Chain A
Amino acid sequence: MITDRALPASGWEVDRQRWERLTALWMIVMLALFPILLGLGAFMRIVQSHLLPTLLPEWFYAVMTLHGLGMVGTWFVGGMAAVSYIVARYVRPRPVISHIAFWATLLGVVLLLVTTLLGKFGVGWYFLYPLPFYPAGVWPTWATWTFLLALAVLGVGWTIWAVDLLYAIAQRYSLRVALGWPYIRSGTGPEIPPALPIVTVSLISALSGFLAAVIILVLSVLEWAGTGFSNDALLMKNLIFFFGHVLVNITMYLGVVLVYELLPHYAQRPWKMSRLVAIAWNTVLFLVLFAYAHHLYMDFVQPQWLQVLGQVSSYFISVPAAVVTIFSTLVLVFGAPMQWTLSSLLLYLGVMGWAIGGVAAVIDSTIAVNVRFHNTLWVPAHFHTYYLMGVVLMLLGFAAHFGREASKQPENGRLAKVIVTLLVIGGYGFLMMFYLGGAQSVPRRYAVYPDEVQQGVTYAQVSLAFIALLTTGVLLYLWETGRRYWHALRAST
């Protein structure tokens, strides 16, 4: 890890053990939830393969809801926990806040399990208004209330977490400096870690997304409490997709923070703060507010200027990412005395997944193309690319790095290569079946494919072979990383 810019020993060292224990706790939860949620995803593809013909579709949709919410939430909290650990070297967030977020997350997970598995609450991870209030006889009223409660609990826990981190950053650097504005103005400024503007941008964006979530919750409760108040479907749709898009985007950016911090360590080269880094991430802060609009292209009543702004923002948000982060990653690694470990391989491949998923996302964010791809399998194809093969690999890279640092155990290099090979072949093979399905107009979120799109069944069946490879890779990863955590735990007790 980089230490020259870290807090004085009296600052970081005092809290080091506390942060390490807390981060280990978060990582263990993240790594425990991952295979379960992966299993739920595999279950969905098995159902779509028509291998479980007697299954009631409502179970598919309840599992779909749990899989989506679980994955989005798990990688967001994993990213926040990893970034908190890194940021705690420079600033002083309060561990107690991270603890509160941890317990709020666990409570939220329990409530989501109850509402989906006991209540069969199946609305998709984006709970598009007014579907939660139209159960069609499947889920009871209490399931909707439990879901709203889960959102409220998670929202409160995550909001105070983000606020605390932002406050800690502002206390040491001021937000102006943390966002790199002195670099934008004069090309130089106070020394800050290059990851700091990304963290700051991510947290500010997160708070804007959480604000949208609060408005959604309040409006939903107002309508449902029988006040006679009725919501506007287009407004709710804008709010929901703003919230969802921002949450997913910043999870990606939290993964990028890990690349900025850890990859230079393995490349033995510096990643310095510069005017370009500052401009790039401030541009992202602005564009991320409008990029969500590409989710509403097929709502023709949406003002047309907002549709155009959605495409322009979605296109140009890729420029700072590609020109600064992805390009800089390649320059950093090119000809470097690189230590290729499980961690560095995963971080590097995570950037590649981000780049490839970004290409697919830009294609889909083209309005004229979206009319053929909207809500087909192209959509899960592209977001699984930058999630599964992007931010997930980055976070698995961090978890491996953290486990190795904590346990001081040597790495099995051959096993690391086997793991990475399985993840890449299994992951991209699995994704390719989504892309092929999308290119052939197969709808997403279908428990059973009708005759017109029967090719979806074949793609689901083939994807099972790749899921098997992916799952093997994940289980080997968990074995390799899990034993390090076990050693570290035993050593600390």
Chain B
Amino acid sequence: MDPLSIFRLFVVIAAAVAAVFLGVGLSTRRQREYSPASGLRTAFFFSLSGILVTFLGVTLPRMPYPSDGEIPDRVIHVVGKQFAFAISENPIETDAQWEEIASFAPPVEIPAGRLIEFRVTSFDVNHGFSLYAPSGRLVAQTQAMPGYLNRLRVRLDEPGRYTILCLEFCGSAHHRMRGVIFVR
């Protein structure tokens, strides 16, 4: 779902709500008999409920969570720690490994269009592992949580440099916490 399209949809709905409030506000210039408008309320209830149920039906199948039936083409291990990400094709289990990979390892390269599983965790506080495409769009994210492994599965179709930013506030250099991968 394109965020800019969602933004436009929101602006249209918000403008409609504002127009209704303005119209009702202006209606007080000419007084009318009070009516509880119960018929209209019932119609509003069913319309709103119907819209919400429809959106549930459309969006719930698109949840980003991994399903057991899929087998990823590649597995990438990610560990967050104040204030860097260590990213590797091999498991990262100790602070020393993390230090080595975060400081000296070359960026991981992954093939375009293949199903990649990022296994994301943290060695200290909560971090947010997010993938920004070369175009600057946020394409996927999951949390890096101490003691847990989040599995993010994604196909990255656009080749180029993907920036990883931290999207969970993690301390004084949160805005500098980043990483990079290349999609070829």
1/0 per position for B9-26, CB-CB distance to A under 8 A?
111011001101100110
Whether B96 is near chain A, meaning CB under 8 Å from some CB there, is: no
Q: What are the residues of chain B within 8 A of A131 when measuring CB–CB?
A: 125-126, 169-171
1/0 per position for A113-152, CB-CB distance to B under 8 A?
0000000001110001011001110100000000000000
Instruction: Let me know if A376 and B138 touch, CB within 8 A.
Output: yes
Q: What are the residues of chain A within 8 A of B37 when measuring CB–CB?
A: 327, 331
Q: Which of A172-180, A192-200, A242-250, A298-306 contacts B (4 or more CB under 8 A)?
A: A298-306
1/0 per position for A438-458, CB-CB distance to B under 8 A?
111101011111101100000
Given A352-B17, A368-B63, A130-B124 contact (CB < 8 Å): yes
Cα of A473 to Cα of B147 in the assembled complex, Å:
48
Cα of A330 to Cα of B126 in the assembled complex, Å:
44
Instruction: Let me know if A319 and B52 touch, CB within 8 A.
Output: yes
Write the chain B residue with the least CB distance to A446: B175
Whether B72 is near chain A, meaning CB under 8 Å from some CB there, is: no
Whether B140 is near chain A, meaning CB under 8 Å from some CB there, is: yes
A-B contact count (CB 8 A): 231
Whether A234 is near chain B, meaning CB under 8 Å from some CB there, is: yes
Instruction: Let me know if A449 and B175 touch, CB within 8 A.
Output: yes
Whether A307 is near chain B, meaning CB under 8 Å from some CB there, is: yes
Residue among B9, B132, B172 making CB contact with A452, cutoff 8 Å: B132
Output the least CB separation between A379 and chain B (Å): 10
Query: What count of chain B residues pass the 8 Å CB interface test?
Result: 77
Whether A311 is near chain B, meaning CB under 8 Å from some CB there, is: yes
Cα of A58 to Cα of B33 in the assembled complex, Å:
59
Whether A355 is near chain B, meaning CB under 8 Å from some CB there, is: yes
Output the least CB separation between A29 and chain B (Å): 29
Instruction: Let me know if A340 and B28 touch, CB within 8 A.
Output: yes
Cα of A381 to Cα of B96 in the assembled complex, Å:
40
Instruction: Let me know if A135 and B52 touch, CB within 8 A.
Output: no
Cα of A340 to Cα of B26 in the assembled complex, Å:
11
Q: What are the residues of chain A within 8 A of B34 when measuring CB–CB?
A: 269, 335-336
Given A131-B125, A330-B21, A363-B6, A298-B141 contact (CB < 8 Å): yes
Q: What are the residues of chain B within 8 A of A348 when measuring CB–CB?
A: 21, 25
Whether B69 is near chain A, meaning CB under 8 Å from some CB there, is: no
Q: What are the residues of chain B within 8 A of A308 when measuring CB–CB?
A: 60, 63
Cα of A356 to Cα of B17 in the assembled complex, Å:
7
Instruction: Let me know if A445 and B125 touch, CB within 8 A.
Output: no
Output the least CB separation between A328 and chain B (Å): 8
1/0 per position for A446-476, CB-CB distance to B under 8 A?
1111101100000000000000000000000
Given A301-B150, A446-B175, A368-B145 contact (CB < 8 Å): no
Given A323-B41, A453-B136, A337-B52 contact (CB < 8 Å): no
Instruction: Let me know if A335 and B27 touch, CB within 8 A.
Output: yes
Residue among B7, B36, B41, B146 making CB contact with A130, cutoff 8 Å: B146
Output the least CB separation between B55 and chain A (Å): 7
Write the chain B residue with the least CB distance to A451: B163
Cα of A443 to Cα of B24 in the assembled complex, Å:
37
Cα of A367 to Cα of B63 in the assembled complex, Å:
6
Residue among A122, A130, A323, A450 making CB contact with B48, cutoff 8 Å: A323
Whether B74 is near chain A, meaning CB under 8 Å from some CB there, is: no
Instruction: Let me know if A450 and B165 touch, CB within 8 A.
Output: yes
Cα of A61 to Cα of B9 in the assembled complex, Å:
33
Output the least CB separation between A9 and chain B (Å): 30
1/0 per position for B125-141, CB-CB distance to A under 8 A?
11010101000111011
Given A233-B126, A368-B1, A124-B169 contact (CB < 8 Å): yes
* Contacts of A344-366 to chain B: CB distance below 8 A: 348-349, 351-352, 355-356, 359-360, 362-363, 366
Cα of A323 to Cα of B7 in the assembled complex, Å:
24
Residue among A61, A135, A269 making CB contact with B174, cutoff 8 Å: A61
Whether A333 is near chain B, meaning CB under 8 Å from some CB there, is: yes
* Contacts of A57-111 to chain B: CB distance below 8 A: 57-58, 61
A276-B41, A372-B3 known; 6 new pairs, CB 8 Å cut-off, are A300-B66, A368-B59, A369-B6, A374-B167, A375-B128, A441-B132
List 3 tightest A-B contacts by C-beta distance, closest first: A335-B32, A439-B7, A441-B138
22 contacts between A and B (CB under 8 A): A130-B125, A134-B171, A135-B171, A136-B171, A298-B150, A301-B149, A311-B56, A315-B52, A316-B52, A323-B41, A330-B20, A334-B27, A335-B27, A356-B17, A366-B55, A367-B63, A368-B1, A375-B141, A436-B7, A440-B4, A445-B169, A448-B175
